């Protein structure tokens, strides 16, 4: 089941976000299992909303990629909130991979 994730980096900057993104070397694409990613400044930090194929896919990304990049840049792990995806809509209709 797809899962939505809200990651909040309190005090984070867009410069830090861009540095992490470069280190992840994803070539402008999401990590395996990632369906959607959006990031921006909000409430004094960086806020990210992701949709993943599963909790396991997100956990693999945290363990395989993001955790090491955060440590390299001395950035604290984000506050993470998650919820199961019930439905998604796109301009061409429902996103089948993300519907529960």
List the helix and strand counts (H, then E) for the chain. 3, 6
* Per-residue pLDDT in tens (0 to 9) along the chain, 100 residues: 899 999 999 999 999 999 999 999 999 999 999 999 999 999 999 999 999 999 999 999 999 899 999 999 999 999 999 999 998 887 887 776 554 5
What pLDDT shows up at residue 24? 95
Architecture of domain 3-98: 2-Layer Sandwich (3.30)
pTM: 0.87
What pLDDT shows up at residue 97? 54
Domain extent listing, the chain? 3-98
Contacts of 19 (CB under 8 A, 6+ apart): 73
What pLDDT shows up at residue 44? 93
Residues 78 and 6 sit within 8 Å (Cβ to Cβ): no
Closest listed residue to residue 34, CA positions, set 66, 10, 78, 79: 66
- How many Cβ atoms are within 10 Å of 38's Cβ, its own excluded? 9
């Amino acid at each position: 089941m797809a899962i939505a994730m809200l990651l909040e980096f309190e005090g984070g900057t867009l410069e830090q976000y861009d540095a992490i993104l470069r280190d992840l070397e994803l070539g402008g694409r999401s990590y395996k299992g990632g369906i959607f990613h959006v990031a921006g400044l909000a409430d004094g930090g960086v806020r990210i909303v992701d949709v993943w194929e599963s909790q396991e896919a997100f956990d693999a990304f945290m363990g395989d990629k993001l955790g090491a990049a955060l440590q390299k840049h001395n950035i604290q792990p984000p506050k993470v909130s998650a919820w199961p995806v019930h439905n998604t809509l796109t301009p061409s209709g429902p996103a089948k991979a993300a519907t529960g």
